[in-house]
Structure 1
């Protein structure tokens, strides 16, 4: 839980957390992150959480909404009657709304009296979308459509967002694009790929190639499926995520090449411009998005951004004892707004 603390911009404790939590003119601190001892490094947190954590069985309603370009988006709604807050949840690359980190956070939010809605990016909800486009790390149009729908459906409720990995990047691009012209009260970005090119090239190294193969397997399957309807879509003949973004993601979504896409959408270059209260959570052992690429100076000089960096933990996966630290921290932050 949050507890009030005398004014102190940075706090370091035995787990080497870094906090700067100024919420509504109060300084607040989080509970400690105590890593499960069997998670020996960031890969263990990342892989074991993904393999062993099951989605919550909390009930949800699958909803399809139309987009302005005559496509559709699939949303999972976890509604709590009488709730005054709703949180929009955004998954990572080739994830979906039933991934453990999305469904478990939604269930925990419900237990704390907060409604949640999980958005599936195009092609990720179990049903191929209609149009040529897929999604990418800087996608904001579908997020804008979803937020307008949430605003109209849940009139009077405060709206919050939590994005994981690619979802965090998309969310930050949205917040940067719209400034204060959006309905979001506060947001949380978890395991953000702040510098997209560096993150993409990092996936070509060592054990990270395992993650690359997993991503490419479904990306290629979806591309081939969509080429049956749109045979002029680009072919893919590479072996890395950088190759895929260069040959497929970039041209489909209007970028010149992978470098143009990465340069245009990397949140490291605009964190100082975010005007929405934001919590950044990142592990110093994140194997996919190494901590050294977190834009520390830009975060530090933006009074709207609060940082929580853990010594242990992985990419999206944070196996704590007792379990559920990540969900508690995110929920506590939203409750403060």
Structure 2
């Protein structure tokens, strides 16, 4: 009996150490090593739902949501009330703006009422839906669970900025409590760009990078927002930097592919307009598009009684996939 208990204890310690090693590799950004470690662990312990959840979270972070969803569902088959698995499915649904994200987050909380990340996600989902009241309520609930929840602080700061209020209290808390973590500023930038406040979003993505220079997701978001303002050279630099450091989500990859094709286009600048047309058809299409472009711009400015502060860029793609990017 004593020998058997010793064997079981040794096995438990080995599993714990291996799990710690996988998590450590993940924290060190050795994603391939962490993936191999989690795979080996799950093969050794196929009925451990929590191992599957952690492996799924790694895959979700590394742009493999389909594989991650498979692992979360496998975990739920073992443990139907696994809060982490429900949260994982909620995070996947949130990325696609699916309504099931809210249901899965609530299921996670039903299993674990103290799961602060689920509260943070519900606050984010509410703010994405422009429901500032619910967003603040969920952020307050998250802060009750964790008084230094950076995600909740960023939600409150974002809500204040979107309502043109003073967000100083929350920004000060982020700066004081999380001086080397840029995720809070990145979150604020996300909500600003979601509301088409691109200049303001760029400011916060730069803040995120200033405190955490290797936050490659912020570099990517900065690049995408610079591109929205027609600053292609700066945008390409940021996107390429993110990609070269293994941040290869679909927007980053596809935008870089599109920018590589810009050599196939001609750019026409006239007055307040910038027109991008494929070289093969540029001279013909410009005859039709340029006058309509100018007429639409004049109509818009007259209707809303404004003068646009910068040129408007119109890009015409003959390839649907380029347009989709």
What is the TM-score normalised by the length of structure 2? 0.29
What is the TM-score normalised by the length of structure 1? 0.29
Q: Which has more helix, going by share of residues? A: 2
Structure having the higher Rg: 2
Which structure's relative contact order is higher, taking Cα pairs within 8 Å and 6+ residues apart?
1
